Structure 1
Amino acid sequence: MLPVRVVLVHGSQVNRAVWTRYAALLGPDVEVVAPDLPAHGARRGETFSWEGALATVDAAVGPDDGVPVVLAGHSLGGYVVLAWAARHPRRLAGLALLGASGVPTGPGALLYRVLARVEHRLGADRMARGLDREFAALLPPALAAAVQEAGYGFDGIPAAWSAVMAHCRPEMLAEVTAPVLLVNGQFDQLRVDVPRYVRAARSAPWVRVVSVPRGLHVFPLTHPRETAAALWELLVHVRR
């Protein structure tokens, strides 16, 4: 079977450990690369910058060595990979936006502004305790412990979401020639503009929309099998 490199980019606050289970779920012919974004995980002492985030994806994608690359990102990571794909519209074999189908402008930007303000007001310690409780309730203990140990990232949130609001639009998909997968939880607040993203992906040979039943915004953590199944459908199309 044709080897494929799958680059998985995490969302805000968390780290690369959220993808711990995906190498096994995607199978032995898939090389999973999961970097930490600046100001997150092992890099939480760094300052977040948009160019730094895109450089992280550059390094994870690697040189054009003939191995097909599928780029997937969740939430903040989804917008980062969208921007990277817009800069390299013919480089990828596949693009997956997970929980990143909301337009971060106008009324839709309110959610991002509220998130940044709440996190700033609560402070890192209270936010960490809140995430600990949330993940303890939603995730298997081993995964919750792995994400906690890898280190949350809060300092970069205002800069990260300001950059998303400044730089990201569905129309960035216009020149992307890879197949595009849009996955959202059934109750994911960032699924509201899926039709606009579908229309924007006019150069893609294949666009697939998947809704994960009973999934919240954190569905890649709580519903890994369903998320991996959607990614596997994209991989099957890539290998054809």
Structure 2
Amino acid sequence: MIIDCHCHAGPGDGLSGPWDSDAGLGRYLRRAQEAGIARTVLLATFHSDYAEANSAVSRLVSTRPGQFYGFAFVHTRRDRGRIADLVRTAVEQYGFTGIKVHRHDARISGEVCAAARYFGVPVLYDPVGEVAVAELLAAQYPDVNFILPHLGSFADDWAAQLALIDHLVRHKNIYTDTSAVRRFDLLEQAVQRAGAHKVLFGTDGPWLHPGLELEKVKLLGLSEADERLVLGENLLRLMGR
């Protein structure tokens, strides 16, 4: 079973680009079905009120509970003091299975990590190239699992992505996803050095083509068992499923 660990959906209210505008799933779902992707983790787009955005994502998840998982998006600075409440609502009322934080909003915080520890869910944190934070996360929160997507940088940041591979190798609770990684050799190196158990398949949909992102994993030439890990089993393990 193929699971996409990283797809945005729902309303956005910034209107500066697709990343903070409404993200429909129509084209994504058609393409995902054609590619054989069975399940998807849904995350909000950038939004001025993540309580509202997460609620909208929960409604999408409820339409296809066997197909969608939800992660709660939080803003560490703007939501300071209420992050545990936001995550509690997402986990206990919506059935969400993870937390999403983006450096574009603000850096990850201890408050987020404490909430992840308490509720037993992973954190998908995009550090926007600031991958040295993995060292701190691994040392201070060894019982929390962190997924740093795009091999640490959505941009074509060779140095950051290479550095993240070292963190994947050294820290048992640091993971990455395959979405938007342009340098195939680095993706291949991540699997070879850190192991297939440290890499998750993601697309950063609906903006990137899920079939194209999946083909990168297929081209890695993994064993059947390792490919199953990347394409879904790693995510299910981190979510406790």
Quickly name the TM-score band, shorter chain normalised. 0.3 to 0.5
| Structure richer in helix, relative to its length | 1
* TM-score w.r.t. length of structure 2: 0.40
* TM-score computed with the length of structure 1 as normaliser: 0.40
